[in-house]
Amino acid sequence: MTKTKELGALAVANISKRGINFVGGVRGLGLNVTMYGSRSWVLRYQVGKKRRDMGLGSYPSVTLAEARERARAARSKLSLGIDPIEDSRALRSKLLADQSTAITFDEAAKKYVEAQEHGWKNAKHAQQWRNTIETYATPVMGKMLIRDIGLPQVLQVLEPIWREKTETASRLRGRMDSVFDWAIARGYRTQLSPARWKGLLDKLLPAPGKVAKVGHHPALPYAQLPDFMMALRTHEGVGSAALQFLILTACRSGEVRGARWSEFDMKAGVWTVPAERMKAGKEHRVALSPAAVAIIEHQRLNRFSDLVFPSPNRSKSDPSEAGMLSDMTLSAVLRRMKVAAVPHGFRSTFRDWCAEQTDYPNEVAEMALAHAVPNKVEAAYRRGDLLQKRHRLMEDWAMFVMGYLANNGEAVHG
């Protein structure tokens, strides 16, 4: 067989003859010119008795040098007994198959809830599912493809809360396990669930019933809160009042202890905490329940300072110069009541109650806690509609805290 003369780039540019014009350099490489004048690269080869033409791209988008490189790669496959056209088709098929099963954990969780919710006994269960996943799992692995998630990510979700919020963490593990099993059944994942307990996590985490609860901010379980609040209300003093207000608003200790009369709009039931007292450095509006307003009104009866909850240790020369309560004052109230919790822990108690006992959307609870929220929700907040929803949430929270809403598994609707 005569060897084709190896053409250079200039000679290739001048090719105009219709059909395949072989350019040399790699056996079977040619430039195909159509009747309309368009040109593209073709590699002609033979598999058994069958002749095949493999497209290598259009000219001049693919240069002569690039075409020769692609042709050499195809010839290398042929030397190994691989048909490059069939190999390319197989790769495309695999890519399409991968794309069809490429869903994130959040997408899988959403589809699982949609598939199951009509069989659940009460309406709040679906929202509780979403809240638990969004609060704890989404920040770690929500955007990851479910087929790529492994044990390290599951542990990253569970370990920080396994001792501090064991009941919540155990429930979350079961829900994640269900999502993984659903993904396996639907073909979105091939490996076993990394959230399964028996034979995996039971070797890495203590059994829920044997956990000794510890944590940076020990929290009171929400089921115990109504009884605790009833006992707290029998304690007099500014420390007790401040702690009650902290619980009812789910605010941070420093925000409450620094509260000033000028920050309150009692008619609207809104407390505006200035940016300098907020952890995120942004002004925050707190929706006040009637129970929270009642505490402020009671404090007004003995007002002697710009502070709503001033330290009882006033200056003898000028009583109005009372300083701010210390965080230790609030902690001391808890110690006297023999409660193994800290003031900041009540924010966690509130968040758990929202996720497990209400159907309020996750972002409403997050906004109530002054946590970062998506931009579209931030915009809605500025329009005021989330403030209204937060008013309803905080009123329901107050009803629960004060013992008017039973913890009986019935839905608290947002």
- For the chain, the structural domain boundaries read 9-100, 123-210, 222-401
pLDDT at 317: 47
Q: Which CATH number fits domain 123-210: 2.40.30.10, 1.10.287.3510, 1.10.150.130, 3.30.70.100?
A: 1.10.150.130
Give the pLDDT confidence score for residue 327 in this predicted structure.
Answer: 85
Closest Cα to residue 104, out of 181, 158, 177, 183?
A: 183
Q: Which residue has the tokens 């790529």?
A: 148
Cα–Cα distances (Å) from 86 to 41, 42, 68, 97, 299, in that order, read 18, 16, 20, 16, 81
CB neighbour list of residue 170: distance below 8 Å, 6 or more residues apart: 208
Q: What integer pLDDT is reported at residue 120 of this predicted model?
A: 81
Residues 402 and 248: beta-carbon distance below 8 Å: no
**DSSP H or E segment with residue 183:** helix 166-185
Q: Which two tokens stand for residue 45?
A: 């080869």
CATH 1.10.443.10 is right for the domain spanning 222-401: yes
CA distance from start to end of the chain: 82
- From first to last of the 414 residues of the chain, give the pLDDT tens digit: 467 788 999 999 999 899 999 999 999 999 999 998 899 999 999 888 889 999 999 999 999 999 999 999 999 999 888 888 888 888 887 776 666 668 999 999 999 999 998 888 776 778 888 888 988 999 999 999 999 999 999 999 999 889 888 888 999 999 999 999 999 999 999 999 999 999 999 999 998 877 655 445 578 889 999 999 999 999 999 999 999 999 999 999 999 999 999 999 999 999 999 999 998 888 999 999 999 999 999 999 888 889 999 988 755 444 455 678 888 899 999 999 998 888 999 999 999 999 888 888 888 998 999 886 655 555 555 555 588 999 999 999 999 999 885 554 444 555
Reference 371, options 399, 388, 348; nearest CA is 348
Per the CB < 8 A criterion, the answer to whether 232 and 333 are in contact is yes
Question: Which positions ≥6 away from 369 have C-beta within 8 Å?
Answer: 250, 347, 350, 351
Q: Which CATH architecture has domain 9-100?
A: 2-Layer Sandwich (3.30)
